[in-house]
Structure 1
Amino acid sequence: MTKAVFQLEPLTCPSCIKKIENALNKTDGVDTARVLFNSGKVKAEFDESQVQAQELEEKIKSLGYPVLSVKVS
């Protein structure tokens, strides 16, 4: 499993958490996706043979949340 942390701008509403988590968790290859509301981070574990970090970043952006940085490990 590959892990990635996406740094977003500060989130303003708790419903943003569910919107992002639901979209990422429904993506093939994503094992888990969690939003850390206070820090504006999204942590995801995924199978890189099925989905790439860049695709997850694009999905977050398509929901209307700018991604400031991505760290993959």
Structure 2
Amino acid sequence: MKREADGDMGSPQKRSRRGDEEVRLLIPSKVAGSIIGKGGQNITKLRGQFKATLPIPQPYPVTNGVWSVRE
């Protein structure tokens, strides 16, 4: 017999197995370089030490220009 997830929203979710935990952090662009490190040294060290997958998403493109607002 399968257990249902707590709560009444959506379909039941599978229980995570040990080691399947995920933590998401929002890191401002201006400090991301410090976390990644020169040549990726820090992030490589973290991946090795914790046997973790640490994907680094590409930043959203920033558009510089003139914006017009009309009423």
Q: Do they superpose with TM above 0.5?
A: no
| Higher fraction of strand | 1
TM-score norm. by structure 1 comes to 0.30
TM-score norm. by structure 2 comes to 0.30
Structure with the larger RCO, 1 or 2 (CA within 8 Å, 6+ apart): 1
